[in-house]
Structures are given as C-alpha cells and as structure tokens.
Amino acid sequence: MAVQTGVVEPIRKAGAGGEVRIIVELRTLFPGLGETIVTQEGVAAALRIEYNQAPMVGHEMFIRHLVAKKLDDHFYRSGVYVFAHVPRVLGSISFGEQDLRETYLYEWAFGRDGFS
C-alpha cells in the first residue's frame, strides 16, 4: 500500500464551546470511513474535536452533519432556500481505544455567527 502524503497546516484556533473545540486547518488530506482522500487543492477545514471521547463519536457526528447537508442541498435545489446554509462535511477521524481522537472535518466558513 502506498503512503499517502498531504498537507495539514494549522491556520488558527476558532474557539470552543460546551461540547467541542474547533481548529481551522489548511488540508489536502481528508480521512474518512474506510479510506483517506488526498487532493491537489487545499481547503480551509474546521476540525471539530469532541470533548466526549466515546468510541465512534467522530463518525456519528460526521453522519449527522452529512444528513443535514443533504437536506440543505435538497431545499436549495428545490427553491425553498435561496442560499445553502450548511457547510460541506469533509471527513471523520475515529481511531478507537488505542488513540482517543474523535473528530470530524467540515468546510470552514470565515466570519461570525449571529444575525444583523
């Protein structure tokens, strides 16, 4: 099996809440269920690191976000939404009992949350 190389460079810490902390990274390497995808073009990705290190929580949050994105895509394409609201989900990391990192990646949207 060939060794996959890619870019993973931290950009900045984006904050923390009650459930997670977020780190923004420039990435060309996206781990996921079963395989890793390596791209030529970098993406600003949010690494959502769970405080709850239960096994498989990284993959579980990936699937939840993916379902929300697919619904968002449907509503956008059918004209219910004028703009898509949910950022693209990019990958997940769930190493298991030996390595407790539980996280998933999604496309980072620069700016602030809230309303005008």
Domain that holds residue 14: 8-107
| More confident position, 87 or 113 | 87
pLDDT in tens, 26-70: 999 887 767 788 888 999 999 888 787 777 787 888 899 999 999
2 membership: H or E segment, kind and range:
none
* Position 76 in a domain: yes
* Position 1 in a domain: no
Angle at 10 between CA 7 and CA 12, to 5 degrees: 155
* Position 113 in a domain: no
**Confidence band of 7 (pLDDT split at 50, 70, 90):** confident
Residue type, position 40, single letter: Q
Domain total of the chain = 1
pLDDT in tens, 74-112: 999 999 999 888 999 998 877 665 665 678 899 998 776
Alpha helices by DSSP H, the chain = 57-77
Residue with tokens 């993916």, as numbered in its chain: 66
Cα 14 from chain centre: 13
